[in-house]
Structure formats: structure tokens, C-alpha cells
Amino acid sequence: MSENRAVGGHDFDVPYVETPPLEASAPFTARTSADGRRVIVEGHCPRCQGRTVSELPRGVPGGRGATKGVLSRLSGRERRGGAPDPAAEVLSSEVFFCECGYAHPQQPADVSFMGCGASWRAVAPADGGSGR
């Protein structure tokens, strides 16, 4: 990590490089938004260590983070009362991208996510929950 450009653990000097999905070593948390329409996933990018927040829509067929509960029922990740836990399901099924909000060196002008280019599969908190 760069000594003079790392702030709060975020290494601003990491050049932009699109990566195949990395394995995140620090846990991410997921919670359902107040209106119940999105799942909000928070954590730190495993490459640049910047704080990243992703909001994923719920219930849109074929949409990122979409679920009708089938995966939950098949995998046993179902809440009491039979309703799937969408936050836990998103943590285990999605690939996330660095959205630290910082334009890293060598970042192309037409990128979809403002960050270092990393992608990863999230790790749930040690208690196995969604961190909500």
C-alpha cells in the first residue's frame, strides 16, 4: 500500500484493473432497505480497501439480486415462517464490484462503477447471518 496516499485503509494509488472475481477476506453485511425493495450490501473492497456499498433490486425477474425464494428454499436459507431471507441470499449468490467512489489511476472514462475495477464474491459475517 502507498504510504502517502492511503487514507483510512483505502489505497488511492491502486491502478484500475478489472479482475476476475476475488475472494473477499473481510465479511460484508447485507440488509433489506426500509421500503423492502432493495438489498444493501456494505463492506470494503478486497483490492483497494475502500468502503463500498451496493444496492440491488429485489423481485425483478432476471435482475441482479432478484429472488423469488427458490434458491433459499433449495439451499435451506429460509427464514422462519417460510419467507426467504433476501439479504443472506444476495451475499451468497452475487458478484460485487468496487464502488468506492474514487477514480483510480488508469480508470477508463466509460466504466460502470467508480472504483478500482475489482470484483469479488462476498463473505458473510462469522455468525452466518446477513449482518442485518
pLDDT tens digits for 49-66? 999 998 888 754 444 444
Exposure string of 3-24, with b = 16+ CB inside 10 Å and e = fewer, is eeeeeeebbbebebeeeeebeb
Cell matching residue 87: 439479504
d(CA 82, CA 124): 21
pLDDT tens digits for 79-114? 445 555 656 667 767 889 999 999 999 999 998 889
Instruction: Note the pTM of the prediction, 2 decimals.
Output: 0.68
